[in-house]
Amino acid sequence: MKKILLAGIFLIFITLSACGAAKKDSLDGEWVHEDERGKLTLTISENKYVLSDENANKNITGNVDRKKNKLMRDDGRSLSYEMVGDKIVITGTNLDVSLERKE
């Protein structure tokens, strides 16, 4: 009986840990938007991001605030993001773009 109880607790712990990890990491990875103006790539890893604009040959870096859904730029400004289905939508002063996860 004791072994069954311990096995049950272990399975619950593993399941909850996996759900928490999946939620936290769902934003991590590489996101891409490509159109006639060029390619925009967003790479997120833990609490850091790099937004690369291939057309302008420019990289924007900063921190990810997952609680506020903000990409905090190193220069003090911020971009907002929102998950919409399987895409991420980024909005800022001069930016409004939807990116898909790169496979």
DSSP code for 55: T
pLDDT category at 1 given cuts 50, 70, 90 is low
Task: Please say if the pLDDT value at position 8 is more than 80.
Answer: no
Quick one: residue 7, left, alpha or beta (phi over 0 = left, psi -120 to 50 = alpha)? alpha
Triad 62, 67, 69: Cα angle to 5°: 60
For the segment 57-68, what is each residue's pLDDT rounded down to a tens digit?
899 999 999 999
For the segment 70-85, what is each residue's pLDDT rounded down to a tens digit?
999 988 899 999 999 8
